[in-house]
């Protein structure tokens, strides 16, 4: 897990020393730089270097991220992980509904992070467990785990700059008047609740781009209703954003008991994170990953 960077003429003109290049060209945070320096993980032409030193064109800078990290704060639990993609730097998993991403008091040993800890142990990777993106407990779909702090920082930066793209599929109640459009409504924490969100003018700007893919009737004789399969792209990443937005416009997600109604058709909110795209922090190539539609949502369409 080593990042190699060959010094170019433009770097010689822009940066006065190694530290400046690491911080401003490779976008390594001060906190991580301090850790790398303490661990003697930065080399120039294969020799440990002082980052206050200058460099020459064609010098080779190597940053070693393989240093040991204590990850014993997360319990190791064996799980059947649906791994969509893996390389030396990151791991992408298709998370099923009904599992938390982070350990907590209620999910001390059965979160997705616990399963990733077991997997890291099995491949001898002594790194902290770093989920990059979040999904609600009952939302299924793609979750990225960074294998080192640098990848987590780089992808978080892309999220902040709206370069990390996320698309979801959801099933909402009713038929939307506009088949394509955007929902631009600010979202805030609901007063008196630590979980629920609401539309409020004092909230954070939030934008959801949507497109209706299919309109259909539910296949249950006991609960016949009009439903719509909708594709959503998030331009912001607020907590419960899709759920809050569609509930507010009168089309709550099917099965969403927090912002809508329970349903005999599905035991959770019908929401699936099916696509993510980003620029790989190491290869600099754009990556796009998708994952299959979960059975409980697919069955509603047949």
Q: What angle do CA 42, 129, 19 make, to 5 degrees?
A: 20
Query: Which residue from 160, 249, 232, 235 is spatially nearest to 205, judged by alpha carbons?
Result: 235
In angstroms, the CA 225 to CA 261 distance is: 13
Query: Which residue from 94, 90, 260 is spatially nearest to 174, judged by alpha carbons?
Result: 260
Query: Which residue from 55, 70, 51 is spatially nearest to 12, judged by alpha carbons?
Result: 55
In angstroms, the CA 36 to CA 65 distance is: 8
CA dihedral over 126, 132, 137, 138, signed as positive or negative: negative
CB 35 within 8 A of CB 22: no
In angstroms, the CA 97 to CA 138 distance is: 4
- Strand-pairing partners, residue 90, are 146
50 is catalytic: no
Distance of CA 60 to the CA centre of its chain: 32
Among 80, 110, 136, 295, the active-site one is: 136
Catalytic residues: 136
């Amino acid at each position: 897990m080593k990042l190699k960077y060959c010094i170019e003429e433009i770097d010689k003109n822009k940066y006065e020393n190694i530290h400046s290049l690491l911080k401003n060209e490779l976008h390594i945070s001060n906190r991580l730089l301090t850790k790398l320096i303490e661990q003697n993980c930065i080399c120039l032409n294969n020799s440990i270097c002082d980052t206050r030193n200058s460099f020459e064109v064609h010098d080779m800078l190597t940053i070693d991220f393989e240093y040991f990290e204590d990850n014993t704060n997360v319990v190791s639990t064996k799980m059947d992980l649906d791994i969509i993609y893996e390389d030396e730097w990151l791991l992408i998993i298709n998370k099923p509904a009904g599992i938390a991403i982070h350990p907590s008091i209620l999910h001390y040993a059965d979160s997705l992070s616990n399963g990733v800890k077991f997997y890291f142990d099995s491949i001898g990777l002594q790194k902290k467990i770093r989920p990059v993106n979040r999904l609600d407990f009952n939302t299924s779909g793609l979750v990225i785990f960074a294998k080192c702090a640098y990848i987590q920082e780089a992808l978080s930066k892309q999220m902040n700059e709206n370069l990390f793209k996320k698309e979801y599929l959801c099933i909402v109640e009713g038929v939307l008047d506009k088949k394509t459009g955007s929902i631009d409504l600010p979202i805030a924490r609901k007063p008196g609740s630590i979980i629920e969100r609401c539309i409020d003018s004092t909230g954070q700007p939030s934008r959801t781009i949507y497109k209706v893919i299919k309109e259909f009737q539910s296949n249950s004789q006991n609960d016949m209703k009009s439903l719509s399969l909708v594709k959503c792209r998030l331009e912001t990443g607020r907590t419960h954003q899709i759920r809050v937005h569609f509930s507010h416009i009168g089309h709550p997600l099917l099965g969403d008991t927090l912002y809508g109604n329970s349903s005999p058709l599905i035991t959770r909110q019908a929401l699936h994170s099916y696509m993510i795209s980003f620029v790989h922090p190491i290869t600099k190539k754009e990556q796009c990953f998708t994952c299959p539609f979960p059975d409980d949502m697919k069955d509603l369409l047949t």
